[in-house]
Structure 1
Amino acid sequence: MNNNHFDKNGKTVAFLTLGCKVNSYETEAMQKLFEDEDYQVVDFDSKADVYVVNTCTVTNIADRKSRQMLHRARKLNENATVIAVGCYVQAAKDVLEQDDAIDIVIGNNKKNKIIDILKEYNQGKNIEDEAVIDLSIEAKYEPLMIESVTEKVRAYIKIQDGCNQFCSYCIIPYARGRVRSRDEESIMEEVQNLVTKGYKEIVLTGIHLTSYGIDLDERKESKLLALIVNLSTIEGLERIRLGSLEPRIITEDFAKTLAVNKKFCPHFHLSLQSGSDETLKRMNRKYSPKEYFEKCELLRKYFDNPAITTDVIVGFPGETEEEFNETKQFLAKVAFAQMHVFKYSKRNGTRAYSMPDQVKEEIKAERSNILIDLNAKMMEDYHSSFIGKSERILVEEIIEIDGKQYQIGHNERYVKLAINAEKSLINQIVTVNVIKDLTKEIMFCEIMD
């Protein structure tokens, strides 16, 4: 991340990002703002004049990690300006303002003002009012844009912020506010600029990606679908991926349209959380397991071997052994390509926080381990379906495994593939034949002539 062209005697800034890809995007955008002010970006472990920690509040662990990193920044340089930004700030602003390790707190929707706020702070002005974030219904999308990203070949593009769902376990709607969508012209411009600089793949991301455009147009057709179709017209852009989706966006038209789009990657991260109807109702999720399964079948109708991945929460308040077994059976029925398993974490301010029948930690851990083992089996089965097949890999990096160097990348379905090659093929799309598993997560391939 270091930028060696800066004057070594100039101002320095270090960033640390916690949480989701939206946070990563916003950090890249803030980095650009600092670079425009002639700051040199240094590693977070280095001594810097300014430290920016982009915080997360999705779990108690994320809260604790955010506090730890802010205090770590202060220890790295007692004279530095330590800035806390992001979701944990939004959720715990009053607490952080009393923390002597932190100089400035900036919640969501004012990160684009970070330079102005820092300048006022350096001038001795009272910036408290400046750092208060308006996340009311009337709040608008925060204008942020990137010109490059740390990742060499893939760019995450934030296209919306906020969430209107209010799942009973989730603090994020309170930390991010209501849905706010970015205008399509701005997205097209950013992607075009990144493609011009050599990026071949983009991933559209947001806090609640499925809701993109509902604040821009009340008509029922998917604004996200229209955006994907328009982005696919950009010459030089090879791949378009989507971040996490809600099942309701998968319609016949959505699947049918994307199935014929040669740039669209058939990797669908469909958020599930539970396979029990009763648990889903307590979670305030707006679908049933039956409806969810129908969406998966619809995807498999139009796409050849799509990667369907998901998130699952175990130990939600009131989750009985019977409900957990329903979830386990449902997961096996869907046969996911991969799952992310989380133990329920109480978040003060959510409805689930005070729900009766909170599940004991040891039961959460036991159920989590069961699903982690199931995930390993499903990943193995999905990977096996590629053996002997021709795949296209976008080469991303060179890594060492058991003393040997491999060039690593992903196919369209986000399976990680490895090849041997004498010269670097990074940022090139290569056709390969899948041979065998190299590790639990990586498959070995041979380059096809």
Structure 2
Amino acid sequence: MKKVAFYTLGCRVNTYETEAMAETFIKNGYEVVDFDDYADVYVINTCTVTNIGDKKSRQMIRRAKKKNNDAVVVAVGCYVQVAPEEVEKIEDVDIIVGTKDKGKIVEFVDEYLKNRKRIKHVENVMSIRHFEELEIDEYQDKTRAFLKIQDGCDRFCSYCLIPYARGPVRSRKPENILMEVEKLSRNGYKEVILSGIHVASYGKDLKDVNLIDVIEMISKVEGIERIRIGSVDPTFFNEEIIEKLKYIDKFCHHFHLSLQSGCDETLRRMNRHYTTSEYKKIVDNLREVFEDVSITTDVIVGFPGETDEEFERTFEFLKEIKLSKMHIFKYSPRKGTKAAEYKNQVPESIKEERSKKLIELDKILEHEFIKKHEGKVMDVLFEEYKEGYNWGYTKNYIRVGVESQRDLSGEIINVKIIESRENKAIGVLKEVK
């Protein structure tokens, strides 16, 4: 049996697409092995959000050939799409595929094995208007499944290459989403995570359907206990939408609302479509409706022109609104974006200093959020059994560990939170649900 190995960089959409490509190989007689193992085919699903993503993508492409010099090395995804000429310079890559036609991956490998000529398949994604269906019957993770329902983005933030890598907004048909969710339920999955490049845009290219409609539809599928959504543009959550979500019991009270900066001047240069006061109002509205809500975010430090005063405004804003988790990124210039051409680029040393300050604040705020839950009884969906402890997540995304003699993976159990430990909680079992 031929062997294939995958390495995935970047977002949940990439994770989903890797699952789909893996299944295509399995259906064609391949065995999926770890990337560090010997394989006949190595597939690197690349990312281009940051320079680090580009660099890591190149490293993994080169590493693959060292495992097996005769292996077929395939580079796919966002980095390939926006910088095909850079990828072509890497001698070790045999097949180059952009963000379109990942479902044809085995066909490309078969063609290469037949002719032994390098294949380049990078199309103009800006002209794509239809959602590419990728079929998944069996996920590697047995407790929760990422579900790609949308692709593309039309926001064009001044720092971001993703609209150029993924093209315009395309939404998956509701009936196809429902079919996959029902299949997941039959296979024992209890949680689905709705993912997309700009998931709040879902339905923009369809008629009379939006993200809330999809959530309501999935909530009626028997066996699915939890519905979670990925990163969502904060402006999506107006009062009407929040009110609708309140009545969907299966919806998880965890919102990842990407902020990027707590300073209005910086937000304008970023071409973000909200102010800090509008963002705070959305946070306040969510907290008013969902008592146990967890709100997480992304923040970029060292954006071009970010002065000490602007950074301090961001720091004070984050101290004030007290989010439960922040992912801190140092600004990375991306060739082809407006921000890369801005004057007053911030030195790396200052980015590092600002990043450390926000990371320290994040540790404090995350611990405070978890500590508030001590003494509460919460449902936990367990995912992993390791060294005598079962680990899983509450509906509002607190990682919880429980000491146990048996593996509880895939079960939802009531747990009493007894202790908070930095970025996680320890609990004791109450009863099986």
TM band (smaller chain): over 0.9
Identical aligned residues as a percent: 47
Q: Which residue of structure 1 aligns with residue 129 of structure 2?
A: 139
Mapping 1:375-390, distance limit 5 Å? 375-390=362-377
Output one character per residue of 1:40-90: Cα deviation in whole Å (capped at 9) or x when no partner: 111111111111110111111111100000000011111111000001100
Within 2, Cα distance between the matches of 1:45 and 1:376?
33
Within 2, Cα distance between the matches of 1:137 and 1:326?
40
Q: Which residue of structure 2 aligns with residue 436 of structure 1?
A: 419
Q: Which residue of structure 2 aligns with residue 201 of structure 1?
A: 191
Within 1, Cα distance between the matches of 2:2 and 2:427?
46
Structure 1, unaligned runs of 5 or more:
1-9
Q: Which residue of structure 2 aligns with residue 269 of structure 1?
A: 256
Q: Which is further off, 94-103 or 106-115?
A: 94-103
Question: Equivalent of 2:31, from 34, 40, 53?
Answer: 40
Within 1, Cα distance between the matches of 2:217 and 2:392?
26
Output one character per residue of 1:221-259: Cα deviation in whole Å (capped at 9) or x when no partner: x60000000000000000000000001110112111111
SS in 2 for 1:245: coil
Aligned letter for 2:426? Answer: F
The question of whether the paired residues in 2 share the 8 Å contact of 1:436 and 1:443 is answered with yes
Question: Equivalent of 2:305, from 307, 311, 318?
Answer: 318
Question: Equivalent of 1:446, from 407, 414, 428?
Answer: 428
Within 1, Cα distance between the matches of 2:67 and 2:128?
40
The question of whether the paired residues in 2 share the 8 Å contact of 1:110 and 1:133 is answered with no
Q: Which residue of structure 2 aligns with residue 7 of structure 1?
A: none
Within 1, Cα distance between the matches of 2:409 and 2:132?
33
Output one character per residue of 1:373-429: Cα deviation in whole Å (capped at 9) or x when no partner: 1101110110111011110111111123xxxx2111110000011112222221111
Within 2, Cα distance between the matches of 1:446 and 1:376?
24
Mapping 1:392-431, distance limit 5 Å? 392-400=379-387, 405-431=388-414
Superposed CA RMSD? 1.3
The question of whether the paired residues in 2 share the 8 Å contact of 1:109 and 1:141 is answered with no
The question of whether the paired residues in 1 share the 8 Å contact of 2:370 and 2:398 is answered with yes
Question: Equivalent of 2:316, from 326, 329, 333?
Answer: 329
Flag as ranges the 4+ runs of structure 1 deviating above 4 A.
Answer: 125-129
Within 2, Cα distance between the matches of 1:99 and 1:258?
48
Question: Equivalent of 2:61, from 67, 70, 87?
Answer: 70
SS in 2 for 1:34: helix
Alpha-carbon shift at residue 337 of structure 1 (Å): 0.6
SS in 2 for 1:30: helix
Alpha-carbon shift at residue 138 of structure 1 (Å): 3.8
Aligned letter for 1:376? Answer: K
Q: Which residue of structure 2 aligns with residue 163 of structure 1?
A: 153
Within 1, Cα distance between the matches of 2:198 and 2:315?
26
The question of whether the paired residues in 2 share the 8 Å contact of 1:195 and 1:237 is answered with yes
Within 1, Cα distance between the matches of 2:122 and 2:256?
34
TM (norm. structure 1) is 0.94
Alpha-carbon shift at residue 128 of structure 1 (Å): 4.6
In structure 2, the CA distance between the partners of 1:134 and 1:126, relative to structure 1 (3 Å rule), is farther
Q: Which residue of structure 1 aligns with residue 335 of structure 2?
A: 348
The question of whether the paired residues in 2 share the 8 Å contact of 1:317 and 1:359 is answered with yes
Alpha-carbon shift at residue 114 of structure 1 (Å): 1.1
The question of whether the paired residues in 1 share the 8 Å contact of 2:305 and 2:344 is answered with yes
SS in 2 for 1:136: helix
Alpha-carbon shift at residue 122 of structure 1 (Å): 2.0
SS in 1 for 2:126: coil
Aligned letter for 1:256? Answer: E
Within 2, Cα distance between the matches of 1:243 and 1:101?
34
Residue-pair matches, total? 431
SS in 1 for 2:18: helix
SS in 1 for 2:326: strand
Within 2, Cα distance between the matches of 1:128 and 1:421?
51
The question of whether the paired residues in 2 share the 8 Å contact of 1:269 and 1:308 is answered with yes
SS in 2 for 1:436: strand
Q: Does 1:183 align with 2:173?
A: yes
The question of whether the paired residues in 2 share the 8 Å contact of 1:203 and 1:242 is answered with yes
Output one character per residue of 1:296-320: Cα deviation in whole Å (capped at 9) or x when no partner: 1111121112000000000000001
Within 2, Cα distance between the matches of 1:206 and 1:276?
27
Q: Which residue of structure 2 aligns with residue 28 of structure 1?
A: 19
Q: Which residue of structure 2 aligns with residue 282 of structure 1?
A: 269
Q: Which residue of structure 2 aligns with residue 5 of structure 1?
A: none
Q: Which residue of structure 1 aligns with residue 222 of structure 2?
A: 235
The question of whether the paired residues in 2 share the 8 Å contact of 1:204 and 1:240 is answered with yes
Alpha-carbon shift at residue 91 of structure 1 (Å): 1.2
Output one character per residue of 1:312-364: Cα deviation in whole Å (capped at 9) or x when no partner: 00000000111111111111121101000000001101000010000011100
Structure 2, unaligned runs of 5 or more:
none
Alpha-carbon shift at residue 432 of structure 1 (Å): 1.2
The question of whether the paired residues in 1 share the 8 Å contact of 2:193 and 2:230 is answered with yes
Within 2, Cα distance between the matches of 1:329 and 1:102?
47
TM (norm. structure 2) is 0.97
Alpha-carbon shift at residue 265 of structure 1 (Å): 0.3
Within 1, Cα distance between the matches of 2:240 and 2:429?
36
Q: Which residue of structure 2 aligns with residue 249 of structure 1?
A: 236
Q: Which residue of structure 1 aligns with residue 8 of structure 2?
A: 17
Question: Equivalent of 1:224, from 203, 211, 229?
Answer: 211
